[in-house]
A and B are shown apart, each in its own frame.
Chain A
Amino acid sequence: MSTTISLGSSVRSEWIKFRSVRSTLWGLITLVILTIGIGVLVSFAVRGHWSHASFRDRITFDPVNTSLSGTLFAQFAVGVIGALFVSNEYANKTIRTSLSAMPRRMTFAFGKITVLVVSLFLITEAVCIIAFLAGQSVLSGVTPTGSLGNASDLRAVLSAGVYLTLLSLLGLALGLILRHTSWAISVFVSLLLILPLLVFLLPSNWQNDVSKYLPANLGQSMTSTTVAAHSFAPWTAMIILVVYVAGLLTAGLMLLVSRDV
């Protein structure tokens, strides 16, 4: 066996770090509870009001997106998981130990990225499928329902997992750039909650054009089975979000390589 450090050895090292702290476990438990719990709650609410729903509400109703409502809350949990995975190392200075053991900083970072993406992708896909199935069983018999056998429904459900995975990576990128847990989480939350409020202050004829570019709205586009007015088609939305994440990640990697630790 070669004893030279490699991406493989970086991944193994980061996997041990990822699974050996409680913050990861709590973050994942929160993710599961929010995604499934809120999806079920919202589905129950829709089911209860269905008889009073207007014609317009009925024809635009998206049972898939409804059952995935929990992702709007779970996105904060995955952001925190991603940010902490990096910012923790700066907070307790283990970054120095880590980079002494793995001085090729890109290899170090890609080890982290691999562990985060693979584990979050598997978990969020599973959780989103469960949320979808639970939501449909709540809605069934009252409202129209979706099915995983339907290509656009399947795409929307799987996209929800992709959305959450991308947002965890966004958290990681902010961790790399800002290096402080509280700053990274504040900026992450601002991107999702404060930015939409700022868009609201723009002249009204601009708002629709700008707001469809907001990360949370891209997520809505990705997880819908119908294309709503003033929003992107699902694949376009996913590509735009990938560009955002790749841009921030590139900035984070460049700073990681060039800064003192």
Chain B
Amino acid sequence: MIHIEHLTKRYGDVTAINDLSFDVRAGVVTGFLGPNGSGKSTTMRVILGLDAPSKGTATINGKAYADLKSPLREVGALLDAKAVHPGRSARNHLLSLAASNKIKASRVDEVLEIVGLSGVAKKRAGDFSLGMGQRLGIAAAILGDPQILLFDEPVNGLDPEGIRWVRDLFRSLANEGRTVFVSSHLMSEMALTADHLVVIGRGHLITQGSVAELTANAKSTVYVRSSNPNGLADALRSKKFEVSANNEQSLSVIGATSDEVGELAHELGITILELTPERASLEEAFMELTADEVEYSGSPSTKKAVTA
């Protein structure tokens, strides 16, 4: 289990993590979700003892990472797929890691086989594609057959087949009772990969829970086309629903169910032409949760920047 308690990390004036507390449990895939710059990678570096916390603690089964007797056998991590010496072969990269933790060389060939890199094991890692780099990083993470695994944005650069493979791998690692902690800034990806979610924004915890819980909490939207959109809109607003007009005839009602909209229209004698509940996707739930927490939001227009 990974235990994060009141963790704060500052880099000069920048507060990358702000009083963050959560646990990552064994036996499930835990997604670590947040917009760019929200502190996911920083949290992972602190867990691995690479960066020292400004306040608070991160522990692995109750111990500080630096106190692990054989780190690769206890924790496997993929931080950055490009983090290999470009001139070193994949096999030598893994052999050097294995040697540091007294892991047998035969295990290196085994993990190369598992990730499908046996054929290119002696090639320079600098010539690898990003996807092959991710596979090499995953090979390094599972090298010591650890019970706890951390992956920072592992699907970046993978093709659909690779993404499927990674998802299945995480699933089977969790089913074996391991702790699997995977970061992403894509909710849609996490919806398919994770069981449990920890959502952060600007370095602090926004929410956590199962994927089902988080989607259920998100506000639903109802799309309605009717004979009297203005009348319906006024009535809905008076009931404190948020309404936006899409065009002459149709409205989007946020936070209402289709039953509520349908009954109200009936009371007013308005004819419903179309009524569609739009279930909030996990993506929308995420956008809603992190709306105030986005560090780097893009400007809607890209044209201005060019002429500026």
Contacts and interface: CB of A to CB of B under 8 A. Distances in A.
A45 B297 CA distance: 69
Given A9-B102, A99-B50, A261-B51, A93 B69 contact: no
Nearest to A10: B100
B233 interface: no
Interface string B1-23: 00000000001000000000000
16 contacts: A3-B101, A4-B70, A5-B102, A10-B100, A14-B96, A16-B92, A16-B96, A88-B85, A92-B82, A92-B85, A97-B140, A98-B100, A100-B72, A101-B72, A102-B101, A260-B11
A96 B45 contact: yes
Contacts of A4: 69-70, 102
B115 to A, nearest CB: 16
Given A13-B97, A96-B50, A97-B97, A5 B69 contact: yes
Interface string B93-128: 101110111100000000000000000000000000
Interface in B180-235: none
Contacts of B77: 100
A103 interface: yes
A103 B49 contact: yes
A96 B69 contact: no
Given A9-B99, A104-B66, A21 B85 contact: yes
A21 B96 contact: no
Interface residues of A, number: 33
B84 interface: yes
Contact of A101 (B45, B82, B97): B97
Interface string B44-86: 0100111110000000000001101111110101011011111
Given A16-B96, A20-B96, A3 B102 contact: yes
B45 A17 contact: no
Interface in B257-281: none
A101 B97 CA distance: 7
Contacts of B87: 21-23
B88 interface: yes
B68 A103 contact: yes
B68, B72, B100 — which one has the most chain A CB atoms within 10 A of its CB?
B100
B89 interface: yes
B89 A20 contact: yes
Contacts of A111: 100
B183 to A, nearest CB: 15
Contacts of B72: 100-101
A111 B102 CA distance: 14
B67 to A, nearest CB: 8
A100 B71 contact: yes
A92 B84 CA distance: 6
B49 to A, nearest CB: 5
Contacts of B66: 103-104
Interface of B: 11, 45, 48-52, 65-66, 68-73, 75, 77, 79-80, 82-89, 92-93, 95-97, 99-102, 140
B101 A9 contact: yes
Given A9-B102, A97-B79, 8 more contacts: A3-B101, A4-B70, A5-B69, A12-B100, A13-B97, A21-B88, A97-B83, A260-B51
A102 B83 contact: no
A175 to B, nearest CB: 14
A236 interface: no
A20 B101 contact: no
B92 to A, nearest CB: 4
A186 interface: no
B100 A13 contact: yes
A100 B51 contact: no
Interface in A5-38: 5, 9-10, 12-17, 20-23
Interface string A99-124: 11111100000010000000000000
A20 B84 CA distance: 12
A60 B93 CA distance: 52
A140 interface: no
Contacts of A5: 69-71, 100-102
B48 to A, nearest CB: 5
Contact of B48 (A9, A15, A21, A100): A100
A132 to B, nearest CB: 33
Nearest to A258: B52
Nearest to A13: B100
B120 to A, nearest CB: 16
A91 to B, nearest CB: 9
Contacts of A3: 69-70, 73, 101-102
Nearest to A18: B96
A96 B80 contact: yes
